[in-house]
Chain A
Amino acid sequence: MNDILLESPPYGLPKAEKQAILVGELQRLTLHHQRYCPHYQALFGHVEPQSIERVEHVPFLTVPLFKQRRLQSIPQEQVFKVLQSSGTTGQTPSQIILDAETAKLQSKVLVKIMQEWLGKGRRHMLIWDHPNVIKDRASFSARGAGIQGLSFLGRDHTYALNDDMTLNIDAIRDFYERFGSKPVLMFGFTFMVWKYGVQALAHAGVQLNFEDAVLLHSGGWKKLQDEAVSAQTFNHTVAEHLGSINVHNFYGMVEQVGSVFVECEEGHLHCPNTADVLIRQPGNWHVVEHGEAGVIQVLSAIPESYPGHSLLTEDRGRVLGEDDCPCGRKGKYFEVLGRMAKVEARGCSDTFEGSTT
């Protein structure tokens, strides 16, 4: 990957400078995947990489393709790790093929991004999940992969939950006694943090006061919206039970590991140097104006071992601006508006409704 993208402060490059370099990287990756991923070539062989002058021109894959077939751009013997997103039970999981290079690059980029929010030192880490979620190292679930991916940003890793999802009060108290006044990193999936974390703490009547903690959470608001929990309620309740904590939601896809969009103090998700987003209109799939809602496309300069550098997600969102967020960070900033409403597959498929009993 280009050194300027990699080594500059992750939110430091202004539009013109960033786009020139990023487009070059995405062009190179398009050619690379055309050469080495036969499925990608079958679909996008007609695209001339030289014709890619702007990020809009980079062809994009719909995300379910990673469930429908194995997409890899490396020889089998170079496969280092296969990430699997758990999805809903019964569904085929996504398969993300990593080689050592891409795995290393993704960690490096992730560290650069996270240092912006966590500082350089490794923080003491409290994970709002149970330890078994990362046990099967050969094939990670999305949750396991997320935890594994962020673990090396912290030390003294402590799991706050038991295997049965109850609070591990002893572990939490012990962690608090040792690190309550030291730099702490907390991480968990939004819904887990809420349901099995702060709500359980409230129920147990536990109130802690961490003095220097950052909580990173991800995984979507859908379930919380169903319970009518807003970001404000979430942050407020976290503060009430855990102390003065900087809470940052972030957005990312297991199909594009290492590329994360972190929410700033203004509540905006930010693109780092190595990534970009576009919003497309369903149907003609043209890019819409800033401010208009549509389907989110995510682009990343990281994926070499699998063709994941340009993906059309199933999420809706809206670009809010570029280079001019009041928080001072450069790059596009946006918001996620949730999943596209799923329709029942209509097909002639009704008399048999799913379960294979």
Chain B
Amino acid sequence: MTWQVINPVGIAPKLAPFAHASFFAFTESLSRSLMQAPEVRLFPDLVALGYWLRKSNMLALAEGYEHLAIRPVGNVFHAAPGNVDSLFVYSGILSLLCGNANIIRLSSKTGGSADLLCEHIARISPDHPGASARFQLIRCERDDPKLTALQASADARVLWGSNEGIRALKRVETSAHCRDIVFAHKISFSVLGMDALLRVDKPTLEQLVSDFCRDNLTFAQQACSSSKLLIWKGNREKLIAAQERFWQAFEAYLGTEAARQKYQFTDSERYQALNNAQDMAMAGLVDGNVQHSGVLRVWAEKVSPQFEEAHGGAGLFVESQVSELRELNRFLTPAYQTMSYWGVDNVEEWLKHCLVGVDRIVPVGQALNFDTVWDGMDLVRVLGRVIS
């Protein structure tokens, strides 16, 4: 593969002030382009992106930083991830807001929504040469010499990827002052309250399972913020009843035409999930009695820190139970990112004493919503220089 620029504009990038007018023109244009295209509706991540990019939201977002004097850090190199096709845009756009000159290397694996997104960006770029020059998308081999040269002169890098991938990128030489913002492998989990679940009415339960599916099945359970573990909170005696209630509703929802269209697993992914469950059982991490409820489920008497490496997603939930949230603290590692919760009280209180792991807590249904604070970092602040 040669060096390929997706949206060339023929001019050199120039740094811009924070929240420059050209930024809003560009994002508004991209938002319109995405929201008006019928083919985009097939990709929920692009719909969400189009909505996030709308002018009112971008203005509100920028306003939150108005009290700070933010200047660009300079030239920023982004390495996009392969699992969530459009995730790279969020950090890219926030970097653009800061006035940086960005070069984003796309994953060679992406297809589907990323390709469509690229088309839209390429289409609007000629109307926004200044902003587009600061937002250049490229495809190239990982070891392309131009890429190495680019990183040598970068003032900051935004690195999305697997731990292995991040380590490889860290071996690339950069300047001493280069700021690396790293989004390595993360794992997420859900906590559901058993008491609340057993009391809930049918419409609320249906809403819960549909929210749970959106969070966790949208990218075939591959997004970092999609749960791989489901922790039942409450009295152990209620466990079986709570599980039955939840998974029956879950399976019924997955069987509907709408859910079947949205959440598809390939045969190969389903095979991988089964193999993954069997492999974890052989390792003694989970019980070997694999259950089927539209997805695979395995039981872990104790949640092990090893899940962060062992669990591959693709429609497999590891379930466990705690009586109190503080029992979670034992297994949490820095790799634990999002905790999505439902029917659980006093989460904030518990979080005060949770010192390792959990970068983010959200109600079930919002796990995939991108936030300017990600993996514990305020992206606007780390992608800009805050003048004091």
Please determine whether A282 and B282 come into contact, CB atoms closer than 8 angstroms: no
Bound Cα distance from A209 to B109, whole angstroms: 50
Please determine whether B266 and A343 come into contact, CB atoms closer than 8 angstroms: yes
Please determine whether B278 and A349 come into contact, CB atoms closer than 8 angstroms: no
Chain B residues whose CB sits within 8 angstroms of the CB of A357 once the complex forms: 143
Please determine whether A65 and B282 come into contact, CB atoms closer than 8 angstroms: yes
User: Which A residues between 316 and 353 are near B, CB-CB below 8 angstroms?
Assistant: 316, 340-353
Bound Cα distance from A45 to B284, whole angstroms: 11
Bound Cα distance from A68 to B148, whole angstroms: 35
Bound Cα distance from A357 to B165, whole angstroms: 12
Bound Cα distance from A295 to B162, whole angstroms: 30
Please determine whether B288 and A42 come into contact, CB atoms closer than 8 angstroms: yes
A69 and B282 in contact (CB under 8 A), knowing A43-B288, A348-B162?
A: yes
Q: How far is the CB of A70 from chain B (nearest CB, A)?
A: 11
Bound Cα distance from A64 to B274, whole angstroms: 11
Bound Cα distance from A283 to B219, whole angstroms: 17
Bound Cα distance from A342 to B159, whole angstroms: 27
Partner of A62, one of B108, B169, B274: B274
Bound Cα distance from A332 to B384, whole angstroms: 68
Bound Cα distance from A284 to B110, whole angstroms: 29
Bound Cα distance from A283 to B264, whole angstroms: 11
Please determine whether A43 and B281 come into contact, CB atoms closer than 8 angstroms: yes
Please determine whether B288 and A346 come into contact, CB atoms closer than 8 angstroms: no
User: Which B residues between 131 and 147 are near A, CB-CB below 8 angstroms?
Assistant: 142-143
Chain A residues whose CB sits within 8 angstroms of the CB of B185 once the complex forms: 347-348
Chain A residues whose CB sits within 8 angstroms of the CB of B191 once the complex forms: none
Please determine whether B166 and A62 come into contact, CB atoms closer than 8 angstroms: no
Chain B residues whose CB sits within 8 angstroms of the CB of A341 once the complex forms: 266-268
B interface residues, tally (CB under 8 Å): 51
Please determine whether B275 and A348 come into contact, CB atoms closer than 8 angstroms: no
A240 at the B interface (CB under 8 A): no
Residue pairs across A and B with CB atoms within 8 Å: the count is 134
B107 at the A interface (CB under 8 A): yes
Please determine whether A346 and B165 come into contact, CB atoms closer than 8 angstroms: no
Q: How far is the CB of B204 from chain A (nearest CB, A)?
A: 27
Chain A residues whose CB sits within 8 angstroms of the CB of B143 once the complex forms: 357
Please determine whether B268 and A342 come into contact, CB atoms closer than 8 angstroms: yes
User: Which A residues between 37 and 53 are near B, CB-CB below 8 angstroms?
Assistant: 39-40, 42-46
Interface centre among A61, A345, A350 (most CB of B within 10 A): A350
Please determine whether A61 and B278 come into contact, CB atoms closer than 8 angstroms: yes
A125 at the B interface (CB under 8 A): no
B192 at the A interface (CB under 8 A): no
B83 at the A interface (CB under 8 A): yes
Chain B residues whose CB sits within 8 angstroms of the CB of A346 once the complex forms: 82-83, 109, 219-220, 222, 313
Bound Cα distance from A348 to B142, whole angstroms: 16
B206 at the A interface (CB under 8 A): no
Q: How far is the CB of A209 from chain B (nearest CB, A)?
A: 45
Bound Cα distance from A350 to B267, whole angstroms: 22
Bound Cα distance from A43 to B294, whole angstroms: 21
User: Which B residues between 178 and 226 are near A, CB-CB below 8 angstroms?
Assistant: 184-186, 219-220, 222, 224
B317 at the A interface (CB under 8 A): no
Partner of B274, one of A312, A349, A352: A312
Q: How far is the CB of B124 from chain A (nearest CB, A)?
A: 25
Bound Cα distance from A74 to B348, whole angstroms: 53
A343 and B269 in contact (CB under 8 A), knowing A43-B281, A352-B162?
A: yes
A211 at the B interface (CB under 8 A): no
A295 and B267 in contact (CB under 8 A), knowing A42-B288, A351-B162?
A: yes
Q: How far is the CB of A138 from chain B (nearest CB, A)?
A: 26
A349 and B82 in contact (CB under 8 A), knowing A46-B287, A64-B275, A312-B274?
A: yes
B168 at the A interface (CB under 8 A): yes
Chain B residues whose CB sits within 8 angstroms of the CB of A25 once the complex forms: none
A56 at the B interface (CB under 8 A): no
Please determine whether A349 and B164 come into contact, CB atoms closer than 8 angstroms: yes
Q: Would you give 24 A-B contacts (Cβ < 8 Å), ordered by A?
A: A43-B281, A64-B275, A65-B279, A285-B292, A295-B267, A314-B271, A316-B267, A340-B267, A343-B269, A346-B109, A347-B83, A347-B222, A347-B313, A348-B160, A348-B161, A349-B165, A350-B107, A351-B107, A351-B159, A351-B160, A351-B162, A351-B168, A352-B169, A353-B108
User: Given A284-B292, A316-B267, A352-B161, 9 other A-B contacts at CB below 8 A?
Assistant: A43-B282, A62-B274, A62-B275, A69-B282, A295-B267, A342-B268, A348-B186, A350-B81, A351-B161
A-B CB proximity, top 6 nearest: A350-B82, A352-B165, A351-B161, A349-B162, A351-B165, A62-B275
